[in-house]
Structure 1
Amino acid sequence: MLSISPVPSFSLTSVKYLRSPSSSSFISFFPKLSRFVTASSATPNSKPETTTTRVNNAGLKLDETVSVSKGKIRLDSWISSRVDGVSRARVQSSIRQGLVIVNGQVVDKVSHNVKAGDEVHCTISKLQPLRAEPEDIPLDIVYEDQHVLVVNKPPHMVVHPAPGNPKGTLVNGILHHCSLPCVAAYSNQEEEDEDSDDEETFSDDEGMIRPGIVHRLDKGTSGLLVVAKDEHSHAHLAEQFKLHTIERVYISLTCGVPSPSQGRIDVPIGRDSNNRIRMAAIPGSLSRGRARHAASRYKVVETLAGGGSALVEWRLETGRTHQIRAHAKYMGVPLLGDEVYGGTKSMALSLLQKRVSRSDQEEIIELVSRMDRPCLHAIVLGFEHPCTGEIIKFSCPPPPDLAEIVGLLRRSGREMVE
């Protein structure tokens, strides 16, 4: 169902763990939002004082009778609910390896439905060795304890190794900094959980392990990302992503200004039939199976350069691949610098050059020409700590490339008004 409707006003909420060194730059970037930011009440970059015991769980057995009151439930979901501290991805791997027997028959389909009275015998599978090598790569660690690591990912860094990017990834750098659990990857096959999020779902034909990675950011997107340091934390965080209880706030620069200035976009997202590497917002396609439910809330924080651009805050209700980028394109305001989704340099310049002062036109041309990624930054991340149960939030200011162009557009817009 198509919906772009106004919603009640929302803004960046109080951020509990804001790094002290960056608080001034955050406030200078968001002067209108500074009242929502509080000083840090935790020690960022703290190293764990003791070593966490890592449990392999290989060989763990489950022998139980299904007792659901009515209806059916997926096999992988039921096993996951009965085995604590083991990721659902690992349960799925165990099923596919033939390690699950239902009523005396081996079942290797994760979406198999079980019902009350079914006898289930499961053995948790062994995990493959990690396929990522540690590399001494500088990391911007926002927070660390024995169980989780929160990192500010720079633009242009790939999150995990894959064909074409075997080295130099965030995972390579984290493995040099600390050890990570062997956690099986979710499959993106036909029997995948229909409610799982593409952004938190990994597809890999070779069954590659994604050590500690619960979610990801596009290569060009900067900002906050949480990494699990043990399997229990991974399973707990993965469940939060599945239930959409993770707080994620992004900021972006758009080509043009969204109208209305705030609202909710409820338009399914699926593969673009004309370009398989691109996603597309496809209205009314859920019933035909072409796309999956996707909902985003947005708010224009600031109109820049006389309406040539806008600083927009996004909150995700779902986490589909390229969700913000596809929804922004659908609204007719693609992200500045997003060549894949229409936010081309020529489009940006055609909107900006006529609206900025003559003294700033050359600098605008230079900055836009240098912009080689979508202007998108994951600015706030909040979640329930997998071990303490405490709700914790983190924030980090945008990197220099984004901050520089926002500053120029903001200043030039003021000059034009005057």
Structure 2
Amino acid sequence: MLSISQLPSFALTSVKSLRYPSSSSSSLSLFFSFFPRVSNFVRASSGIPNLVACSPTEIIIPRVNNAGLRIEETVDVAKGKIRLDSWISSRVNGVSRARVQSSIRLGLVTVNGRVVDKVSHNVKAGDEVNCTISELQPLKAEAEDIPLDIVYEDKHVLVVNKPAHMVVHPAPGNPTGTLVNGILHHCSLPCVSYSNAEDDDSDEETFSDDEEMTTSSSSYAASVRPGIVHRLDKGTTGLLVVAKDEHSHAHLAEQFKLHTIERVYVSLTTGVPSPPQGRIEIPIGRDSSNRIRMAAIPGGVSGGRARHAASRYKVIETFAGGGSSLVEWRLETGRTHQIRAHAKYMGVPLLGDEVYGGTKSMALSLLQKRVSRSDQEEIVELISRMDRPCLHAIVLGFTHPCTGEIVKFSCPPPSDLAEIVGLLRRSGLEKVK
């Protein structure tokens, strides 16, 4: 267990200090002491080879374009009116609201036979809507000198510790400053162009917690994303693997498809899951009331509204009389916002997750009065500064695509999460047996 004196050094411990256990055993022990229950399956990651120069290949990854998709439907709403862009978005999966609005402005939508180019136009029950989805405009990803926290690298793969607020690849709302931009520079790749492929119907969060990026249909539009096999949300921190050649990409993609990749996350929740250990298997689909959010939908698979999703969880520690808990998650599937949606469904949204209900006000109401009086001011400050969900990809394991060796990597949580855990632990800890 961390002592008070160890907390600051832990909060600033970098992944690099854990990369070579033989030369930094104290840092590794510190990491294991922070998550003693996690250490059983982390200790295998040692003896990592030296870094070598890149030998990259641009990877072509098929993605859905949806250009030319046509909708011819009669509006069916219970009562009143609904915005045209909202109604069309509710009828199409995989197309962003921004792209629907672009289609309307381009004159590709008619209502009752008349062209409507105003996105806020209201439609009512009985209106006949005809819409053609517009072509996506190509995006360019340019190399940018962005510092990358590289946990491991060889000629075939790259494992990166993604910081908070970094988007994985360029999108209309995030054209620069992404992980792909940094990888292009790191591997001395030129500027690349690719189809503007959409991932979620979200104008705010377009990236998914460890969602696989694989498909086999040659009819899909191609896009260039150097080696990206899976993604993490913009606010999620932690480990992500990147393929550096086509063989490695195909091999890793198959592992994700077969669910043989080991993915372990830790989170801080508002409240404590009940029971403290278990498996949640609830389909996940788009939240009908909030399009930037996913939702756990019981029975949603049979109705076509959701996709199968399963997560295993275990409470590691509880804090502040049950006001919060440190939870380990293991993913069996990789769905958009899977952990966040499942945590909300269980009634314990992640601390700092404003989209899914883990608001700062909720966290403060649960914690402020339950920590020692001397710590109340500090907990308010730490939670007020937390501007993302407290979720970290702590362990990543896979079969090396070229050597066949099972490799496993780990990295400690960043300082914002570590500081809150340290304060809660200092104020009182309940171990889970």
TM-score by length of 2: 0.69
CA distance in 2, matches of 1:245, 1:366: 40
Distance 1:164 1:88 in 2: 21
Question: In the alignment, is the contact (CA less than 8 A) between 1:296 and 1:314 conserved in 2?
Answer: yes
Q: Does 1:150 find its partner at 2:159?
A: yes
Match of 1:89 in 2: 62
CA distances 1:22-43 after superposition (whole Å, capped 9, x unpaired):
4144123224544554375333
How much has 1:306 moved relative to structure 2?
A: 1.7
1:282–1:35 Cα change, 3 Å: closer
Provide Cα deviations, 1:219-274, integer angstroms capped at 9, x if missing partner: 00000000000111111111111111111000000000000000000100000001
Inter-CA distance 53–397: structure 2 relative to 1 (3 Å threshold): closer
Alignment of 1:105-254 (within 5 A): 131-179=140-188, 199-201=211-213, 207-254=222-269
Q: Structure 1: which amino acid aligns with 2:35?
A: F
How big is the shift at 1:131? Answer: 2.6
- Aligned match for 1:258, one of 273, 278, 291: 273
1:343 aligns with 2:358: yes
8 Å CA contact 1:187–1:202 kept in 2: the answer is no
What residue number does 1:75 align with? none
Give the deviation of 1:303 after TM superposition.
0.7
Q: Which amino acid aligns with 1:377?
A: H
Report the alpha carbon displacement of residue 198 of structure 1 after superposing the two structures with TM: 8.2
Q: Distance in 1 between matches of 2:193 and 2:332?
A: 25
Distance 1:30 1:185, change over 3 A: farther
CA contact (8 A) 1:157 1:169 kept: yes
Q: TM-score, normalised by structure 1?
A: 0.71
Q: CA RMSD in A?
A: 3.1
Using the TM superposition, give the Cα deviation of residue 389 of structure 1 relative to its aligned residue in structure 2, in angstroms.
1.1
For residues 388 and 210 of structure 1, what CA distance do their matches in structure 2 show?
24
CA distance in 2, matches of 1:130, 1:166: 8
Give the AA of the match of 1:149: L
User: What count of residue pairs does the alignment treat as equivalent?
Assistant: 325
Shift of 1:175: 1.1
Change (3 A) 1:408 1:277: same
Specify every segment of 5 or more residues in structure 2 that has no aligned partner in the other structure, as ranges.
1-17, 68-137, 200-208
Q: 1:216-365 to 2 correspondence within 5 Å?
A: 216-365=231-380
Measured at CA, do residues 201 and 384 of structure 1 come closer, stay the same or move farther in structure 2, by a change above 3 Å?
A: same
State the alpha-carbon separation in 1 of the partners of residues 177 and 20 from structure 2. 26
Give the secondary-structure state (helix, strand or coil) at the position aligned to 1:43. coil
Which structure 1 segments of 5+ residues have no match? 1-16, 57-85, 97-128, 190-196
For the Cα contact (< 8 Å) 2:61–2:214, is it kept in 1? no
CA contact (8 A) 1:144 1:150 kept: yes
User: Structure 1 residues 214 and 300 mapped into 2: Cα distance closer, same or farther (>3 Å)?
Assistant: same
